[in-house]
Amino acid sequence: MPASDAQLLLEVVREAGELGLALSRKKDLQHWTKPDGSHVTEGDLAINALFERRLRAERPDDGWLSEETADDPQTRMAHDRLWIIDPIDGTRAFLEGRKEWCVAAALAVNGRPVLAAVYTPHHAEFFIAALGEGASLNGTRLAIPDSTTLEGAHIAGNRKALAGLAHLGIVADPSGSLPLQLRLAHVAAGRLAGAVSIGKRNDWDLAAGELLVQEAGGIVSGSSGKGYIYNRPQPWQQGLVAAGAKRHAALIDALSA
């Protein structure tokens, strides 16, 4: 009997994380610079190949979007089901031998994520979520603490977004060491009160983490407050605001003021 979507996703993400962990210990790790100035390593490519070999082979009728695969919007959008993959979120940390990187993957159906997994192999932390079934970290269910106030709230984000919140007494964390998927996972786990970002953010940096936050009781949206829809012609979203429902409303108000 074929594996369920959830079983397949969890197996492949764990396998991908272990592969990444082994490659991260290589002393002569090959790496290149992309045209946009970002980095890619042999680890990113090897993990992407693993996902393609496992997921695409076992779900050949589904759509595909990965940071390390050339996108074909017309073909991708012909499918209601879409796998959204970030082989390594935090490639710079991976390349520099730091621990704050993860493997992230989600299954979206009709533009919304229904399954998600984010795995940080150095910390042995496995975040998972399924639509309507909650989110968990290593088997412990997650629930976001919430408040109407932003004073003293630990908010991660890019400097432009954080600057617009400074007058509210937040504890600003530029979070250069945390990739987007881990910021979202940490919001879901209550380690961060929120995450904000201004500018375009790629779908593969958001989809899995969005479902984690949502299923832990929070809200994720663009900086305008509008929710995300995936599998559009452009594989990116405009801005990021993630927090518990009350703090999310306060952040949207503050950023739009």
Q: 113 and 168: one domain? A: no
For residues 68-86, give the mean pLDDT: 97
**CATH value at residue 200:** 3.40.190.80
Identify the residue with better confidence: 240 or 159: 240
In a domain, 81, yes or no: yes
Task: Identify whether residues 167 and 68 lie together within a single domain.
Answer: no
Q: Is residue 65 part of a domain?
A: yes
Choose the final residue of a domain: 141, 171, 189: 141
Same domain? For 215 and 243 the reply is yes
Contacts of 148 (CB under 8 A, 6+ apart): 246, 247, 250
Range of lowest pLDDT (95-99, 107-111, 171-175, 235-239): 171-175
**pLDDT confidence band for 188 (50 / 70 / 90):** very high
Residue 113 lies in a domain: yes
Q: How confident is the model at residue 2 (pLDDT cuts 50, 70, 90)?
A: low
- pLDDT > 80? residue 177: no
Same domain, 132 and 185: no
pLDDT at residue number 1: 43
**CB neighbour class for 32 (10 Å; exposed up to 12, middle 13-18, buried from 19):** exposed
**66 shares its domain with 32:** yes
Confidence class for position 3, pLDDT limits 50, 70, 90? low
Dihedrals φ, ψ of 212, to 5°?
-60, -50
| pLDDT tens sequence across 138-175 | 999 999 999 999 999 999 998 889 998 999 999 998 86
Per DSSP (E only), the strands in the chain are 31-33, 39-41, 63-66, 81-89, 102-109, 112-120, 125-130, 134-137, 140-141, 154-157, 171-173, 194-202, 218-221, 236-244
Chosen domain end from 92, 114, 141:
141
Enclosing domain of residue 232: 154-256
What's the domain count of the chain?
2
Kindly report the average pLDDT of the chain as a whole number: 95
Give per-residue pLDDT as tens, 9-53: 999 999 999 999 999 998 888 998 888 878 899 999 999 999 999
Instruction: Name the pTM for this structure.
Output: 0.96
Q: Residue 4: is its pLDDT beyond 70?
A: yes
136 and 15 share a domain? yes
Residue 148 lies in a domain: no
Same domain, 20 and 68: yes
